[in-house]
Chain A
Amino acid sequence: MLSILIWLPILGALVLCLLPKKLGAAYLRRVALAFGSLTAVWTVWLLTQFSLSTVGMQFTEFVPWIKIIDLNYSLGVDGLSLPLLALNALLTLIALYSTAYSGERPRLYYALILLVSGGMAGAFTAQNLLLFFLFYEVELIPLYLLLVNWGGSKRDYAAMKFIIYTAVSGILLLAAFLGIALLGPVPSFAFDPAVTRGLPPLTQVILLGLLLLGFGIKIPLVPLHTWLPEAYVEASPPVAILLGGVLAKLGAYGLLRFGLELFPATWHLVSPILAGIGAVSAVYGALVAIAQKDIKRMVAYSSVGHMGYFLLAAAAATPVSLLGAVLQMVSHGLILAILFHLIGVVETKVGTRNLDALNGLMNPIRGLPFTSAFLVLGGMASAGIPGLVGFIAEYLVLQGSFAVFPIPTLLCVVCSGLTAVYFVVLLNRTCFGKLDNETAYYPVMQWSERVPALILATLVLFLGIQPGWLTRWSESTTNAIIATVPTTDTTLSLSKLNRLISTR
């Protein structure tokens, strides 16, 4: 069942490589799209078969592989990974669909995207530490190639930085996984929270610290984030969508799956620090974004800020906040994808991403009214305007965390205001203002550019109005995870708040 999600895209990549040489890019794109769509259809079918009330892994698969180190091909999916699998399938499809025919070396390009998608699905479903690590590392190679071959002028630098950072992240993870496997009573790479919870406290702290550093690079958290702006900005829009929309979520997912689930007690111990890092990331990302002149860079930094919310929610670890964290991953993926897509459109039509050069794109005749309208929607969703999916994720994060960490939560509310500042700057400069009639001879908007925006916007709006469609998948899983964390006294918040205030 789950294997299809992994191997179907990889098969697609193989087929693409074996197709006759004379076929054009449009044909290759259709083949890639066919495989992407099949994967997406399969994901939808999984969604319909997923039992909402079951706690624990579903659709599990187990094939013994290398018994001596307990590396097994063990897959499973629960409420934590299912939304991300769906996001992966959707964004892969969008990345494939939104790529222009005229790109260079289309065969390699489409094959690599399918490989990334398959690797990602593997990482999200792997139930064995070493298997996860393999998938985590394997998808790096196609992504590096995508970055270094198709992208902006500084793509060599960006790709190198990305690969070094992520390789360091991988080494740290490997160290942590080896520690987990070897320090237990029986050496085993199987994912087993019961074993890790029994480890001595100091060992747990060290292992969790390694995981935090490793996944912190991927998420990314301040100050481990400097690969992100370069990579997001230099990547071509479809690659940036995959990178920001799904790949970075791998870090967030890993932190919940291997940090919170394996070491709940230690997690609770270090959670005040995590909440602090989260709040700092949020404010830091927003402040740096305000100072940017390049709209793509601005959106890239917004990503740092929004992942700060995620960490705050994960640290608070209440039922509401953890669900908020899952929602934040999905909503951020969708919003980032629509923003990167639209910025890509603006760049191809207008030829610049510079705030000082852009102006008046909302002009209905000679501007890009469609793009502008959706840019407003995407920006406002990111700024947390209600009725859009960003709001409900943000609200659950903040409401869930407030009783546990009031001050970091309030800092994140301030950050939400700063987010509004830079999106208003972005919209004011690009969409509003007077269009320069001398230069406004933009190419006609293609349907292949409109459809991804339409699909993403519909999802952003629909899930914002009906968030129940998003929360239902994960609620029983997040509740089960929270049940293992030592109770945070959310009920006593009144006295706690009072205490907090009277001590100042």
Chain B
Amino acid sequence: MLEFLLRTVWLIPCYPLLGVVLALPWFPGIIRRTGPRPAGYISLLLTGLAFAHSLLALQGLWGQPTRAMLLPWLHVGSLALDFPLEISVVTLSACALVTGLNLAAQVYAITYMEMDWGWARLYALMALFESGMCALVLSDSLFFTYFILEILTLGTYLLVGFWFNQPLVVTGARDAFLTKRIGDLFLMMGVLAIWPLAGTFDFSELAIWAKTAQLDPTLATLLGLALIAGPIGKCAQFPLHLWLDEAMEGPLPSTILRSSVVVATGIWVLVKLYPVLALSPVVLTVMVTIGVISAIGGSLIALAQIDAKRALSFLVTAYMGLAFIAVGTGHGETALLLVLTHAVAMALLVMSLGSIIWNNVTQDLSQFGGLWARRPITGLAFLGGMVGLIALPPGGSFWAILALGDRLWATYPGLVGVLALVNLLATFGLARVFGLIFTGKSQPMTERSPESPWPIILPMVVLLGFVLHLPLLLYSWQLLPSWASINPAVATVLTVSSLIGLSGFWLKPIVIPWQPLHELLANDFYTTKIYRFVIVLPVVLAANLTAFLDRYFVDGLVNMISYVSVRSGQILRYSTNGQTQFYMLTVVVGVAFLMGMMMVL
């Protein structure tokens, strides 16, 4: 039975995809009689199947070597585009994580989206994401990775644009699509360039090729930069980070996925591509630099956000920045560990936040307060997520960040300082959010606030249990560093930075005391405005200029020729005056002219 499930692993992405297809008739109102709910239940059922399949397959593969599978797709001349599956413990665990979190988010959405008319669309899109991500982690091919990332970009557009009646949502969806697309197109350039060079798209074969490849350093750098641009967009790293912030206009159940696993796809791709990227030291330096900027920038911006969802979303950028640092310094496995601990903890935080937002009808941090007594389960979930996310022993991320710090200590001690700083800021930011929501006095918006119904509470509590048990699981999977190898200095620095950060519980500033700094951070370093001048304006100008030339120059020339012909005909018709002498004269002059021309030539 398990063997059969292993052999049919390719079905895992297919279940949710089937859910998408089955949900479709409800969206444009082809089926009206039942209301949109059945679409959601079908999708839930199929997600459950995918989850069960992943878990059982994982159990079947445990302790066995990695398997490979090839699904033929398209052969054109020498170009062979087959879908290679890598079936390993890591990929199946990733599938289980994706489907599990998706199941939780979809159950969550039953209540969260209770009164919404877009059920079919929401569930179809969430299932699309699930399917895409499962296929992404299973695929061992750069081409199909690009293929799926691009589909997910479209998915982001539609999911962020879910409540398309609101103007902010519309611009948010547009920006999400276009920023991600910029990253994707650079990735596509990389894909196009790598085929003539390496002759393969398989990650494993690319790694072998990279060992012996003799590439011009400039070419290697350009190739590497193109390849990391895709993940920069996916992971919302500077300078392509603004979409994640605007994506917060989308429905919250999708945010659970986006903040936890969708952004992580970028890191996954980077880890797979590392051998190629390592061909150029410049690329690695760029990755680390971008990671540092995003980590510090993201955690700083989060401090100045009034919107609760945004205060969390910038921390996602910050943590993905840490993962960028990890990959850039050659610690791909640590990056994946960090991504795992981040994913579950962040999903829990978003769920807890959603539970508050759902029945307090606001996400403005300045309007909350004193909810600890009324919402203990939600509050505990938030604390659990926080412990799981910051570097505070024994939380999951502590071990991941510690492992990273240990490895950087000898080579890049400065980066350990960055880790501590980001951890401090992130802790402070989370503590601030917790403090503003749960402690202090009640406000008008929080006077009445019963605990949420079971579809919200159940997945949240299950996930809370998982987050709290994660260190034990990691221990039993031998993913934690051994006691002997732990660097006490790093552990102390990280723990102390977390403890200092916890002061946010009491300080909990709504605005940063120094106004200009607050403005700078609250407006995300004015990125939107800068983009409007640096990118949007030139494109609009170029478009309008080309359109102007097209209309008045290219087409104008054509119209002028026709005008001249018509006009000259109209003028010349008055020369038909019936005098034979005049016609004769014209003929003679014409013949003389032609003969003259022939003599000259």
Contacts of A373 in B (CB 8 A): 27-28
Q: Within 8 Å of chain A (Cβ to Cβ): is B539? A: yes
B27, B77, B174: the one within 8 Å of A479 (CB): B77
Closest beta carbon of chain A to B337's beta carbon, Å: 30
Inter-subunit contact B165/A364 (CB<8 Å): no
Bitwise interface map of B from 110 to 128 toward A, beta carbon under 8 Å scored 1, else 0: 0000000110000000000
User: With A398-B192, A502-B216 as given contacts, are A369 and B28 in contact (CB-CB < 8 Å)?
Assistant: yes
Contacts of B165 in A (CB 8 A): 360, 363, 433-435
User: Which residues in chain B, 21-46, are within 8 Å of chain A measured between CB atoms?
Assistant: 27-30
A223, A323, A413, A433: the one within 8 Å of B185 (CB): A413
Cα(A419)–Cα(B29), bound, Å = 30
Cα(A431)–Cα(B170), bound, Å = 10
Inter-subunit contact B550/A226 (CB<8 Å): yes
Q: Within 8 Å of chain A (Cβ to Cβ): is B449? A: no
B27, B150, B543: the one within 8 Å of A287 (CB): B543
Contacts of A385 in B (CB 8 A): 150-151, 153-154
Inter-subunit contact B151/A432 (CB<8 Å): no
Contacts of A417 in B (CB 8 A): 181-182, 185
User: Which residues in chain B, 242-268, are within 8 Å of chain A measured between CB atoms?
Assistant: none
Q: Output the residue of B147, B182, B550, B554 with the most chain A CB within 10 A.
A: B550
Q: Within 8 Å of chain B (Cβ to Cβ): is A421? A: yes
Inter-subunit contact A291/B170 (CB<8 Å): no
Inter-subunit contact B547/A287 (CB<8 Å): yes
Cα(A410)–Cα(B222), bound, Å = 13
Q: Within 8 Å of chain A (Cβ to Cβ): is B562? A: yes
Q: Within 8 Å of chain A (Cβ to Cβ): is B5? A: no
Inter-subunit contact A399/B164 (CB<8 Å): no
Contacts of B28 in A (CB 8 A): 364, 369-370, 372-373
Q: Which residue of B lies closest to A471 (CB)?
A: B76
Q: Output the residue of B75, B167, B188, B219 with the most chain A CB within 10 A.
A: B188
Name 15 interchain pairs, CB-CB below 8 A, sorted by A.
A222-B554, A363-B165, A386-B151, A391-B147, A391-B150, A399-B195, A403-B196, A409-B192, A420-B177, A428-B173, A432-B161, A434-B165, A434-B167, A468-B73, A498-B219
Bitwise interface map of A from 341 to 372 toward B, beta carbon under 8 Å scored 1, else 0: 00000000000000000001011110001101
B29, B74, B146, B181: the one within 8 Å of A467 (CB): B74
Q: Which residue of B lies closest to A372 (CB)?
A: B28
Q: Within 8 Å of chain B (Cβ to Cβ): is A288? A: yes
User: With A420-B178, A432-B173 as given contacts, are A362 and B164 in contact (CB-CB < 8 Å)?
Assistant: yes
Count of chain A residues with a beta carbon within 8 Å of a chain B beta carbon: 67
Cα(A363)–Cα(B178), bound, Å = 23
Q: Within 8 Å of chain B (Cβ to Cβ): is A205? A: no
Closest beta carbon of chain A to B259's beta carbon, Å: 23
Bitwise interface map of B from 51 to 83 toward A, beta carbon under 8 Å scored 1, else 0: 000000000000000000000011111110000
Inter-subunit contact B167/A433 (CB<8 Å): yes
Cα(A364)–Cα(B215), bound, Å = 54
Q: Within 8 Å of chain A (Cβ to Cβ): is B555? A: yes
Inter-subunit contact A493/B150 (CB<8 Å): no
User: With A416-B185, A417-B185 as given contacts, are A490 and B547 in contact (CB-CB < 8 Å)?
Assistant: no
Inter-subunit contact B150/A386 (CB<8 Å): yes
Q: Within 8 Å of chain A (Cβ to Cβ): is B189? A: yes
User: With A226-B550, A288-B550 as given contacts, are A420 and B181 in contact (CB-CB < 8 Å)?
Assistant: yes
The 10 nearest A-B residue pairs measured at CB: A291-B547, A290-B543, A432-B164, A319-B77, A493-B196, A287-B546, A370-B28, A369-B28, A226-B555, A291-B543
User: Which secondary structure dominates chain B's binding surface?
Assistant: helix
Contacts of A433 in B (CB 8 A): 164-165, 167, 170
Cα(A148)–Cα(B117), bound, Å = 45
Q: Which residue of A lies closest to B180 (CB)?
A: A420
Inter-subunit contact A428/B547 (CB<8 Å): no
Closest beta carbon of chain A to B36's beta carbon, Å: 9
Question: A residues bordering B, Cβ < 8 Å?
Answer: 161, 164, 222-223, 225-226, 284, 287-288, 290-292, 318-320, 323, 360, 362-365, 369-370, 372-373, 376, 380, 385-387, 391-392, 396, 398-399, 402-403, 406, 409-410, 413-414, 416-418, 420-421, 424-425, 428, 431-435, 467-468, 471, 475, 479, 490, 493-494, 497-498, 501-502
Contacts of A323 in B (CB 8 A): 76-77
Contacts of B580 in A (CB 8 A): none
Cα(A223)–Cα(B557), bound, Å = 11
Q: Which residue of A lies closest to B221 (CB)?
A: A501
Q: Within 8 Å of chain A (Cβ to Cβ): is B540? A: yes
Contacts of B29 in A (CB 8 A): 364-365, 369-370
Inter-subunit contact B189/A223 (CB<8 Å): no
Contacts of B117 in A (CB 8 A): 364
Q: Which residue of B lies closest to A319 (CB)?
A: B77
Inter-subunit contact A320/B196 (CB<8 Å): no
Q: Output the residue of B76, B151, B192 with the most chain A CB within 10 A.
A: B76
Inter-subunit contact A392/B74 (CB<8 Å): yes
Cα(A438)–Cα(B462), bound, Å = 48
Cα(A373)–Cα(B178), bound, Å = 19
User: Which residues in chain B, 447-500, are within 8 Å of chain A measured between CB atoms?
Assistant: none
User: Which residues in chain B, 164-207, are within 8 Å of chain A measured between CB atoms?
Assistant: 164-167, 169-170, 173-174, 177-178, 181-182, 185, 188-189, 192-193, 195-197
Inter-subunit contact B218/A502 (CB<8 Å): yes
Contacts of B550 in A (CB 8 A): 226, 284, 288
Q: Output the residue of B77, B540, B558, B562 with the most chain A CB within 10 A.
A: B77
Contacts of B192 in A (CB 8 A): 398-399, 402, 409, 413
Contacts of A318 in B (CB 8 A): 77
Cα(A432)–Cα(B167), bound, Å = 9
User: With A399-B195, A433-B167 as given contacts, are A498 and B216 in contact (CB-CB < 8 Å)?
Assistant: yes
Closest beta carbon of chain A to B544's beta carbon, Å: 5
Contacts of B547 in A (CB 8 A): 287-288, 291-292
Q: Which residue of B lies closest to A409 (CB)?
A: B192
Contacts of B543 in A (CB 8 A): 287-288, 290-291
Inter-subunit contact A396/B27 (CB<8 Å): no
Contacts of B555 in A (CB 8 A): 226
Contacts of A387 in B (CB 8 A): 147, 151
Closest beta carbon of chain A to B420's beta carbon, Å: 39
Q: Within 8 Å of chain A (Cβ to Cβ): is B380? A: no
Inter-subunit contact B539/A493 (CB<8 Å): no
Cα(A264)–Cα(B381), bound, Å = 70
Contacts of A290 in B (CB 8 A): 539-540, 543
Cα(A161)–Cα(B154), bound, Å = 39
Closest beta carbon of chain A to B109's beta carbon, Å: 18
Cα(A338)–Cα(B73), bound, Å = 26
Inter-subunit contact B197/A493 (CB<8 Å): yes
Cα(A417)–Cα(B178), bound, Å = 8
Closest beta carbon of chain A to B1's beta carbon, Å: 30
Inter-subunit contact A421/B539 (CB<8 Å): yes
Q: Within 8 Å of chain A (Cβ to Cβ): is B157? A: yes
Additional 9 contacts, C-beta under 8 A, given A364-B117, A418-B539, A494-B215: A284-B550, A291-B544, A291-B547, A365-B29, A396-B76, A424-B174, A468-B73, A475-B77, A493-B197
Q: Within 8 Å of chain A (Cβ to Cβ): is B542? A: yes
Q: Within 8 Å of chain A (Cβ to Cβ): is B98? A: no
Closest beta carbon of chain A to B2's beta carbon, Å: 30
Closest beta carbon of chain B to A276's beta carbon, Å: 17
Contacts of A475 in B (CB 8 A): 76-77
Inter-subunit contact A287/B76 (CB<8 Å): no
User: With A385-B150, A396-B76, A410-B189 as given contacts, are A421 and B546 in contact (CB-CB < 8 Å)?
Assistant: no
Contacts of A292 in B (CB 8 A): 547
B118, B170, B216, B558: the one within 8 Å of A432 (CB): B170
Q: Which residue of B lies closest to A370 (CB)?
A: B28
Cα(A402)–Cα(B195), bound, Å = 10
Q: Within 8 Å of chain A (Cβ to Cβ): is B158? A: yes
Contacts of A288 in B (CB 8 A): 543, 546-547, 550
Inter-subunit contact B76/A497 (CB<8 Å): no
Cα(A287)–Cα(B188), bound, Å = 21
Contacts of A420 in B (CB 8 A): 177-178, 181
Cα(A370)–Cα(B118), bound, Å = 14
